[in-house]
Amino acid sequence: MIDHELIPRKILFDTLRVDPKLSPDGKWIAFVLTQKGVPNIWLMSSRGSPDRHQISHETGRGVYVFSWANDSRHLIIAKDGDGDEKWQLFSANIESKKWMNISPFEDAETRISAFSCESPSEIVIESNGRTSRFFDLYRVNVATGSVVLHELNNQYTWIYVDQYLRPRLAELRTENGGVNYNVSDGDGVWDHFFSVSPEDETTTRPFRSFEVSNTFNADATEIYAMDSRGRDTAALVAWNLNDGVSRQIAEDRLSDISRVWIEHQSQEIFAYERYYDRPTLVSLRETDRQDFEYIRSVEDSHFSIVSQTADNESWIVRFHGPENPGSYVVFNRKSRKIGNIDLEQPTFEQHQLGSMHPTLIASRDDLNLVTYVTLPPSTQVRGEDRPDSPLATVVLVHGGPWTRDVFEFDPWIQLLANRGYAVLSINFRGSSGFGKSFLNAGNQEWGGKIFDDIEDGIAWSIQNGITDPDKIAIMGASFGGYATLVGLTRLPKLFACGIDLFGVSNLTSFLETIPPYWKEYKSMWRTRVGDPLESAGAKLLRDHSPFFHIDKLTSPVLIAQGANDPRVVKQESDQMAQALEKNALEVVYMVFPDEGHAFVRTPNLLSFVAGVEIFLRKHLGGNCEPIGHDIVGSSITVPIGNRYLPDLRLAKLIDPHSKEEVMEVIP
């Protein structure tokens, strides 16, 4: 058991989403404030006034995705229907508080493509309402609500639009798993630009609108990109759209450069991030370098620029790290003044947090696996990162698999460490950010060498006295949920239990049910996962599918699923849970009818976290916060296995305000 104070899960999970953004003119800060479990968009002055104005008044899932229009008078807010990812865009006038739906279709996904530098109220959006496979472009005036078709698209997976709202570059997926890039002058005529091979297709591409506000230089003759052709790690480059010449801006030997900061008026890249085991923000200009040094002198921790004014004179800076969920300040570059922003974030000053330690682990075939070990705060350590005695451990597997674990605050890691567990986060082959060779080493190895890496990481942790070999759990979401099921079927004696959040159970049925617009990436799926149309590929997919190896599984399993998930559909979890129940194995299956590929509603998330705590305490022996009222308002159902979690099953809760029973977990 642990001897430090438990951090309430409500503090860890309820109010971390704030996302402050400066208006382009610098007068306002829009941010997300969660009240009574519901996130909404609020507005405050950037100049110290305590007054706040609520812009959205949503209930249920609330809203938390938004951008400023260039006119500084309108916010563009996105919301979907209970996790179905059919995002609708709304224009909200910050003065009148009036909303307009600017989406051309209701039953479709709509997203922002580009902002205009000439007409601040105009943007280009893209929607797949006409055909679910492709996204057409529409020109929108956020002030009037006018929506006009801008570019019909019947073949491209992505179209890049410049700041003059001209479609300029487009991606066309090839049958061999590569990409053809076509270029246009904005006149609707597309010509071949160049081709990218399958080995480079993920690490060679332009930056996209959700990554930076605009991806082109000032006169739109160049587009900023990451490029791994002729090298291993992706360099930061600019592609000339006239002659195809690639101009290198920066590179790093160990990691891809996949994050940049662009000055809006000059359209110059002024900083980038390199990220191997820890993040490092690098400036490209002397003036910015001096500003970075000044910011570091204020607080000695990693920082990021999360928002900028149009003239780049003011930044919102976020200080953050594994034990710091993020504190925000406004930095005025001319006056060198820093002002704190009160965003009503949770404070952890009275709580001890787990310490995260980066390390390199060698795989059995000598790949370097960047790994993070997080220890409970009360753990007595030998040296820097070794406990005095081995600990119950949760192996937390990241999603994707083409993402990565990072040296950052993570509420799940801190919850698990606080409850007394060591947490092991392994960047296995196929993880992104470490060069194309490392990424491509995961091709068609979802249930093979990828899991060898996870197994090697666990073996290292046991050998180094971190992990108790009799008390290991594996847990993850999406690909991490799939990896959980792989681990439980492949190494049933290694794991005491597993927790699968919307993970794939059958790779063949997964590939048959992916969203329609993902199917244009079918050649990429064949290359990276397996080809169901070839006999060898079909066998590989079956061999790597946990559903077909249930007879090997012996450990208890907790499965959680959002009913509206469009990426990993509910069938994937249904079939696994039902088969486990049929085999008389201990399985707890939680279904949330109003969630998708993430648990967004606070009561749902908190009820799930409570279930995880109870489940892990039962099988690993860690600590657990009492349920209390964290389950009130949740839509949770437990169609299979509620008898295995009696603490959750008997949680009949009374609403303290109405004195009436509000829910019961037993279905």
Active site members: 478, 565, 597
Tokens of 599: 């648990």
Tokens of 619: 């099988």
The H-assigned helical ranges of 405-478 are 411-418, 436-440, 449-463
DSSP character at residue 276? S
Which residues, listed in sequence order, are joined to residue 77 by a DSSP beta bridge? 66, 90
Q: What are phi and psi of 77, to 5 degrees?
A: -115, 135
How far apart, in whole angstroms, are the C-alpha atoms of residue 9 and residue 127? 37
How far apart, in whole angstroms, are the C-alpha atoms of residue 661 and residue 656? 9
Whole-angstrom CA distances from 95 to 43, 73, 309, 517 are 10, 7, 19, 37
Residue 317 makes CB contacts below 8 A (sequence gap 6+) with: 295, 303, 304, 305, 306, 328, 329, 330, 331, 338
Q: Minimal CA–CA distance to 479: which of 438, 445, 518? A: 445
Ramachandran quadrant class, 262 (left: phi over 0; alpha: psi -120 to 50; beta: rest) = beta
Three-state secondary structure readout of 474-521: EEEECHHHHHHHHHHHHCCCCCCEEEEECCCCCHHHHHHCCCHHHHHH
Element (H, E) at 195: strand 191-196
Q: What are phi and psi of 67, to 5 degrees?
A: -145, 160
Cβ–Cβ < 8 Å for 373, 359: yes
Ramachandran quadrant class, 148 (left: phi over 0; alpha: psi -120 to 50; beta: rest) = beta
Cβ–Cβ < 8 Å for 653, 634: no
Torsional sign, CA 84, 477, 410, 637: positive
Which residues, listed in sequence order, are joined to residue 653 by a DSSP beta bridge? 663
Is 144 in a helix, a strand, or coil?
coil
Residue 534 makes CB contacts below 8 A (sequence gap 6+) with: none
Q: Minimal CA–CA distance to 255: which of 395, 62, 431, 392? A: 431
Element (H, E) at 613: helix 602-620
